[in-house]
Amino acid sequence: MSDFKELKQKVYAANMRLPELGLVLFTFGNASAVDRANNVFGIKPSGVPYEDLRPEDIVIVDFENNIVEGDMRPSSDTKTHAVLYKNWGNIGGIVHTHSTYGTAWAQSQRDIPIMGTTHADHLTTDIPCAPPMEDSMIEGNYEHQTGLQILQEFEKRGISYEEVEMVLLGNHAPFTWGRSIDKAVYNSAVLEEVAKMAYLSLQINPEAPRLKDSLINKHWERKHGKDSYYGQE
């Protein structure tokens, strides 16, 4: 019997939410969750269609990308997940998709600007887009370097991974994370919806302004501040 049955079930359920939310097509994505007590994480196996995926197919790997449990090859993005788990200790789950609008912004090499209160309910900043990877990084250990690319961009911008739980990679696609895998999935859906809203807003008015600070602060504080009043007690 698997020592990681509960972890596998949790990762399976999160992965199955991605096509339900319209965030992945075919096999264009993956989700993982970490077990900090055992320094391992569960991740979707590479290239397995979602309709064929089973909980027992989830692959358990350690932070050095060694398979701990599982008969399949883990996601090709496993090394990226491992870098983030090793360096950002408060992450519980990671999601990578090639969702349409988020990926379009990534391919345009543009941050997603904070233009409305939906965005401000979740972030007080633009969603960052890291520049395309250097050739030397691409030619090296590509997926490992992808993780380093994310770390370097957050360090360069002085951004906290606990405050901004999402990023675009230039010419690639989005990554999101959270304290749990469920929050990482939620953040992935939020990123896609905000990306769509920003795109449509700029089609209607190419000169549409950034949301003013007073509204950013109001919407963030009413949901996340010490005197927040959104939702139920």
Say whether 35 is catalytic.
no
pLDDT of residue 169: 98
With respect to residue 174, please indicate whether it lies within any of the assigned structural domains. Answer: yes
With respect to residue 202, please indicate whether it lies within any of the assigned structural domains. Answer: yes
Return d(Cα 104, Cα 225) in angstroms, integer.
Answer: 32
List, as one string, the DSSP characters of 100-118: HHHHHHHHTT--B---SHH
- The yes-or-no verdict on residue 88 having pLDDT over 70 is yes
With respect to residue 54, please indicate whether it lies within any of the assigned structural domains. Answer: yes
* Angle of CA points 184, 95, 215, to nearest 5°: 45
How many Cβ atoms are within 10 Å of 6's Cβ, its own excluded?
12
With respect to residue 233, please indicate whether it lies within any of the assigned structural domains. Answer: no
Return d(Cα 97, Cα 103) in angstroms, integer.
Answer: 8
- The yes-or-no verdict on residue 1 having pLDDT over 60 is no
With respect to residue 147, please indicate whether it lies within any of the assigned structural domains. Answer: yes
**How does pLDDT run across 155-176, given as a tens digit for each residue?**
999 999 999 999 999 999 999 9
Return d(Cα 132, Cα 138) in angstroms, integer.
Answer: 10
Choose the catalytic residue: 57, 62, 121, 182: 121
Say whether 230 is catalytic.
yes
Mean predicted confidence (pLDDT) in 4-30: 97
Q: What is the pTM of this model?
A: 0.96
* CATH number of the structural domain spanning residue 219: 3.40.225.10
Helix crossing, 5-20 with 181-204: angle to 10°? Answer: 20
Mean predicted confidence (pLDDT) in 3-24: 97
Helix (H) or strand (E) holding 176: strand 174-178
Which range marks the domain in which residue 190 is found?
Answer: 5-224
Return d(Cα 165, Cα 123) in angstroms, integer.
Answer: 9
Phi, psi of 161 (to 5 degrees): -65, -20
Mean predicted confidence (pLDDT) in 60-82: 97
**How does pLDDT run across 91-111, given as a tens digit for each residue?**
999 999 999 999 999 999 999
CA distances from 7 to 72, 73, 157, 218 (A): 16, 17, 34, 37
pLDDT of residue 91: 98
- The yes-or-no verdict on residue 194 having pLDDT over 90 is yes
Give the chain's domain count.
Answer: 1
With respect to residue 230, please indicate whether it lies within any of the assigned structural domains. Answer: no
With respect to residue 106, please indicate whether it lies within any of the assigned structural domains. Answer: yes
pLDDT of residue 140: 87
With respect to residue 64, please indicate whether it lies within any of the assigned structural domains. Answer: yes
Mean predicted confidence (pLDDT) in 9-19: 98
Cβ atoms of 43 and 74 within 8 Å: the answer is: yes
Show contacts of 3-9: CB within 8 Å, 24+ apart.
3/69, 4/35, 4/40, 4/42, 4/60, 4/68, 4/69, 5/55, 7/33, 7/35, 7/40, 7/42, 7/58, 7/60, 8/42, 8/55, 8/56, 8/58, 8/60, 9/55
Cβ atoms of 207 and 201 within 8 Å: the answer is: no
